[in-house]
Amino acid sequence: MNIQKLSRDPRAMKSLTGLSYQEFANLIPSFEKAYLDEQRHKPNRQRKVGGGKKGKLPTTESKL
């Protein structure tokens, strides 16, 4: 299930995330900032940020 499909069905969005689409959209920028900060400040990194295997979830919305 992707976020685009959920955005068209408010009831499913609310049941799966506990948030309306607007609340979810408002959360994305702060989540993205926190996620990137966490990635940059991980202790004992073997590679620079962006190096190594790529994640399976392509977008910030998918990660959230």
pLDDT bucket at 30, cuts 50 / 70 / 90: very high
pLDDT of residue 5: 87
In tens, the pLDDT along 34-64 reads: 988 888 887 777 777 777 777 788 788 888 7
What are the sequence ranges of the domains in the chain?
3-41+57-63
Q: Give the Å distances, CA to CA, from 21 to 8, 16, 29, 59.
A: 9, 11, 14, 16
Q: Which of 36, 31, 38 is nearest to 17 (CA)?
A: 31
pLDDT bucket at 28, cuts 50 / 70 / 90: very high
Report whether 21 contacts 13 (CB < 8 A): yes
Instruction: Quote the percentage of the chain above a pLDDT of 90.
Output: 39
Helix axes 10-17, 21-40, angle to 10 degrees: 40
